[in-house]
């Protein structure tokens, strides 16, 4: 039986940690790619040599050569410049557009049937770039955003209530950034709405913390951005494709009229399975939620309008 093949482009903190999560889950063989000579190879050696200790079976190649990525099933794009203190995701637009464009061209050449998961920031715009450059069907292109944002929301709620994060579910829509839309109405603890447990003021504080968390981590790290939670989120998406799990996850997906948006990649709940984005789930929004969502969509549109390919 042929094993699945996962390519991860960018062997920095996010990409290397993606490789780690994918290896521990035994999702398939891994190709770790980086433009800096030796980085991907060194990290692949190190990760491979942890497998006897942890007891997971896989094979990994670290390389600068995209020929090794040929016939990948899933590709996770982490390449690009990380955010630094004082830098918004928007500041990354021009430089990361060229990086993601170059990566996408290589992936489309060697793995024309792959599914691509974009992590590079600003992710909604970079997912759009990946789609335009690759020419792939929209179901095979998606961005990692809402899973990470919802995970942060869930973490704050669990800590506030002193309950297990496993029992907390949350949903975050919109662009991945300061305009994201955490939906408190759809956040539950073991099926119970959080409004049963928390005041409006405490819920709003959690929403604000969710929006700010990425920037807080950047300020604390000083030389980069978050990597454990983003990489875990990307690999959850990859796992749902590879195992055809049909997970309902919030991802940056192409909208073709849903939510009143057409032609852009925006964070919404979708069903992810063996055919990639199999369904966009359109939920009812209140007037206030719709207004926030429209504001977030406008922010993404403004970014995309500044992209030069």
31, 103 Cβ separation under 8 angstroms? no
Supply the residues annotated as catalytic. 176
Look up tokens 């939920």; give the residue. 283
Nearest 5°: the CA angle 32, 268, 124 is 50
Q: Sort 284 into a burial class: Cβ within 10 Å, 0-12 / 13-18 / 19+.
A: exposed
Neighbour tally for 15: CB within 10 Å: 26
CB count, 10 Å around CB of 64?
A: 15
CA distance 237 to 242: 9
Residues with Cβ within 8 Å of 53's Cβ and at least 6 positions away in sequence, in order, are none
| 3-state helix, strand and coil shares in percent for the chain, rounded to the nearest 5 | 50, 20, 30
Place of tokens 């040929």: 70
């Amino acid at each position: 039986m042929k094993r699945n093949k996962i390519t991860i482009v960018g062997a920095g903190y996010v990409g290397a940690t993606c490789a780690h999560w994918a290896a521990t889950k035994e999702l398939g063989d891994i190709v770790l790619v980086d433009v800096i000579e030796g980085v991907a190879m060194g990290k692949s050696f190190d990760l491979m040599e942890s497998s006897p200790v942890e007891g997971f079976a896989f094979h990994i190649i670290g390389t600068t050569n995209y020929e090794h990525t040929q016939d990948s099933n899933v590709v996770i794009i982490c390449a690009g410049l990380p955010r630094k203190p004082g830098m918004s995701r928007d500041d990354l637009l021009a430089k990361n557009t060229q990086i993601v464009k170059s990566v996408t061209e290589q992936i489309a050449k060697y793995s024309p049937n792959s599914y691509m998961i974009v992590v590079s920031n600003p992710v909604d715009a970079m997912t759009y770039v990946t789609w335009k450059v690759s020419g792939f069907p929209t179901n095979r292109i998606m961005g990692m955003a809402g899973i990470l944002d919802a995970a942060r929301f869930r973490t704050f709620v669990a800590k506030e209530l002193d309950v297990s994060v496993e029992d907390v579910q949350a949903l975050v829509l919109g662009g991945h950034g300061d305009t994201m839309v955490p939906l408190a109405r759809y956040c539950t603890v073991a099926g119970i709405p959080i409004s049963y447990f928390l005041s409006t003021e405490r819920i709003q504080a959690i929403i604000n913390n969710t929006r700010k968390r990425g920037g807080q981590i950047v300020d604390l790290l000083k030389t980069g951005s978050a990597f454990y939670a983003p990489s875990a989120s990307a690999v959850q998406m990859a796992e749902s494709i590879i195992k055809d799990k049909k997970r309902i996850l919030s991802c940056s997906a192409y909208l073709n009229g849903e939510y009143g948006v057409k032609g852009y990649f925006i964070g919404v709940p979708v069903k992810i399975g063996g055919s990639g984005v199999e369904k966009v789930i359109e939920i009812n929004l209140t007037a206030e939620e719709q207004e926030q969502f429209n504001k977030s969509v406008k922010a993404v549109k403004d970014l995309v309008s500044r992209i030069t390919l």
